[in-house]
Structure 1
Amino acid sequence: MTEGEIRRRPGGRGARVRQAVLDAAVDALVENGVTGFSFADVAARAEVNETSVYRRWRTRENLITDALLAVSDRRIPVPDTGSVREDLRAFAALVVDYLNSPLGGALARAAVITVDDPELAAAREEFWRSRLELAGAMVERGIARGELRAGTDPRVALEALIAPLHSRALLTREPLDEDLPRALADLVLDGLGARGIGPASPA
Structure 2
Amino acid sequence: MVGDELTMLSDRRAPTKPAFALMLRFHALHGRFPKDRHELPDQAVGYVARLVKVAEADLSLYEWDGRTSKGHRKKIREYLGFRECGLTDSDKAALWLAANVCDKERHLDRVREALLAQLWEEKLEQPAPDRIRRIVGSAISQAEKAQTALICNRVSKESVVRMVALIAHSADRAPRRTATAGMRTRCSTRRR
Give TM-score scaled by structure 1 length: 0.30
Larger Rg: 2
Give TM-score scaled by structure 2 length: 0.32
